[in-house]
Amino acid sequence: MELLSVIRRWHHRDRIPIREIERRTGLSRNTIRKYLRSDAVEVRFKVPQRPSRLDPFADKLSEWLRVEA
């Protein structure tokens, strides 16, 4: 990701403090520190959980299980 290289360049080459990088990017200081410590080339985001295919039928399945119990 391009932003990661910009953050590293500002901090290491241009000697810009983390607080100034925070103001310029809008990222939190903790996130910037995490990016500076990591050796990752690009940032990876967690994939949100997607709904199950059974969600539309959850009520009916629950009803069947209740009846069988």
For the stretch 9-22, pLDDT in tens is 999 999 999 999 99
pTM of the model: 0.56
Residues 32-45 have pLDDT tens digits of: 999 899 877 666 67
Q: Which residues of 23-43 are buried (b: 16+ CB within 10 A; e: fewer)?
A: eeeebeeeebeebeeeeeeee
- Residue ranges covered by each domain of the chain: 1-42
Instruction: Tell me the chain's radius of gyration from C-alpha atoms.
Output: 23
